[in-house]
């Protein structure tokens, strides 16, 4: 309806103009270079309007012809960009599908179409890396390092390659260069931390660590690897103050104090650590300088006074009492340790030793020993340092698991229940 009204309006205006032109009075006479035109005013005005429209059309046509080369160039550039973008998508999909050769081909096409941009170079490097062409990938990463907007990406790739081939000094050098470009970046921080943990630079690892368990593990490791007794004492004290119940830190601090001649302070640190977390290694260090059996029992009683009802305390006292020939006292503490929930192999081995000491070689004693040894064979394994990332048991504590390199993941106790991997 609106269109019909519009057409009617245009027709009315056209008719109005035609009527106005036809009604114009007089004539127009034009003489140019010997040509003379004479016509009525209305026809003259109409002719001038048609001439003007033709001139405008001609001008537009001429401009369009002049723009043809530029338009062609723009069309070709658009085609190239579209081809490049399609190649980038293909390369990304091939990388995700782990199809290295297809990814390399698509990345090469993307570079041909779009040039060496950070995106196309990264795709090409990742495709080469996936194809196992490390030299090719390294050359592209180095090219990226030379471009201001791709330098960090290049260094990131070079760093990962250095870590993979365990070239620690090269990795550390690259990490320093990358950290200058993006100071405080989370990824670089994590990678530098992993590197520091792998090369045993514990003080740097502590500075980069996020979270108390990691800081504690690295602080303890820094103390244990200190090169001078004074430095060891300072670092060990710092680590122990982070968590007084952390056995490796308490052991490091007490050992440093003992080495500095501060025996009574060393024993008080061990006693405090026992109160927080009774660990057999604390007793081993505390009792090491004491050789006489009764004195060892007295030292064990003093060490464990802060946690008198703990199963480990009863087990320690049972062992030292047995060594001192106090079999009744040993039996009482051993029963208390079992009553407190300790049912590990060592309990039954100590029970067998107790039966042997108490009953000697008589038939009843031998039967009791056999029974205790049988129970030891099927008892829970003794506590150990276990990595709760990979489950491996280790005889000694380490700041990072020697098996899987996970840092700060060793816990004292029985084997951890690891989550099963999804099928």
Residues that bind Zn ion (CB under 5 A): 387, 389-390, 401, 403-404, 406
Residue 399 C-beta: closest distance to Zn ion, Å: 12
Nearer to Zn ion (CB atom), residue 325 or residue 402? 402
Q: What is the dihedral of CA 276, 277, 280, 284, to 10 degrees?
A: -30
Residue 217 C-beta: closest distance to Zn ion, Å: 13
Do strands 410-413 and 393-394 pair parallel, antiparallel, or not at all (unpaired)?
A: unpaired
Nearer to Zn ion (CB atom), residue 278 or residue 408? 408
Residue 166 C-beta: closest distance to Zn ion, Å: 18
Token code pair at residue 243: 């968590």
d(C-alpha 8, C-alpha 16), whole Å: 12
What proportions of the chain, in percent to the nearest 5, are helix, strand and coil? Answer: 70, 5, 25
d(C-alpha 76, C-alpha 217), whole Å: 61
Nearer to Zn ion (CB atom), residue 289 or residue 402? 402
Nearer to Zn ion (CB atom), residue 117 or residue 403? 403
Backbone dihedral region of 141: left (phi > 0), alpha (psi from -120 to 50 degrees) or beta? alpha
Residue 390 C-beta: closest distance to Zn ion, Å: 3
Nearer to Zn ion (CB atom), residue 163 or residue 266? 163
d(C-alpha 292, C-alpha 3), whole Å: 116
Nearer to Zn ion (CB atom), residue 116 or residue 388? 388
d(C-alpha 212, C-alpha 308), whole Å: 29
Residue 419 C-beta: closest distance to Zn ion, Å: 14
Residue 237 C-beta: closest distance to Zn ion, Å: 29
Residue 106 C-beta: closest distance to Zn ion, Å: 38
Report helix, strand or coil for 285.
helix
Residue 282 C-beta: closest distance to Zn ion, Å: 24
Q: What Rg value do the Cα atoms of the chain yield, rounded? A: 44
Per the CB < 8 A criterion, the answer to whether 140 and 150 are in contact is no
Nearer to Zn ion (CB atom), residue 239 or residue 389? 389
**Which of 259, 262, 286 lies closest to 272 in space, CA to CA?**
286
Backbone torsions φ then ψ of 258, nearest 5 degrees: -65, -40
Nearer to Zn ion (CB atom), residue 100 or residue 399? 399
């Amino acid at each position: 309806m609106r269109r019909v009204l519009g057409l009617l309006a245009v027709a009315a205006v056209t008719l109005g103009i035609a009527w106005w032109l036809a009604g114009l009075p007089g004539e127009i006479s034009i003489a140019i270079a010997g040509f003379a035109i004479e016509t009525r005013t209305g026809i003259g005005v109409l002719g001038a309007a048609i001439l003007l429209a033709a001139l405008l059309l001609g001008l537009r046509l001429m401009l369009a012809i002049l723009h043809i080369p530029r338009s062609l160039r723009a069309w070709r550039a658009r085609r190239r960009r579209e081809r490049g973008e399609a190649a980038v998508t293909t390369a990304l999909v091939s990388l995700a599908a782990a199809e290295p050769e297809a990814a390399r081909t698509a990345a090469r096409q993307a570079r041909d179409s779009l040039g060496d941009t950070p995106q196309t170079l990264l795709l090409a490097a990742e495709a080469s890396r996936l194809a196992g062409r490390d030299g090719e990938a390294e050359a592209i990463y180095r090219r990226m390092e030379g471009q201001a907007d791709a330098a960090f990406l290049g260094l990131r790739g070079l760093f990962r390659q250095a870590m993979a081939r365990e070239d620690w000094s090269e990795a550390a050098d690259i990490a320093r260069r990358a950290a200058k470009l993006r100071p405080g970046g989370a990824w670089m921080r994590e990678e530098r931390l992993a590197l520091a943990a792998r090369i045993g630079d514990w003080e740097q690892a502590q500075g980069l660590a996020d979270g108390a368990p990691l800081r504690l593990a690295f602080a303890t490791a820094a103390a244990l690897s200190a090169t001078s007794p004074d430095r060891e004492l300072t670092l060990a004290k710092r680590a122990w103050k982070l968590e007084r119940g952390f056995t490796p830190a308490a052991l490091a601090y007490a050992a440093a104090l003992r080495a500095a001649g501060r025996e009574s302070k060393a024993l008080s640190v061990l006693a405090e650590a026992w109160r927080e977390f009774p660990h057999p290694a604390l007793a081993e260090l505390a009792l090491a300088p004491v050789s006489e059996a009764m004195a060892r029992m007295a030292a064990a009683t003093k060490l464990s006074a802060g946690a008198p009802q703990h199963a480990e305390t009863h087990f320690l006292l049972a062992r030292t009492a047995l060594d001192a020939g106090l079999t009744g006292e040993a039996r009482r503490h051993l029963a208390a340790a079992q009553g407190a929930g300790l049912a590990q192999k060592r309990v039954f081995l100590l029970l067998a030793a107790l039966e042997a000491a108490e009953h000697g070689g008589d038939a009843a004693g031998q039967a009791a020993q056999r029974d205790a040894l049988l129970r030891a064979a099927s008892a829970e394994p003794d506590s150990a340092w276990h990595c709760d990332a990979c489950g491996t048991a280790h005889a000694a504590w380490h700041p990072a698991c020697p098996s899987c390199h996970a840092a700060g993941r060793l816990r004292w106790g029985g084997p951890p229940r690891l989550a099963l991997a999804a099928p």
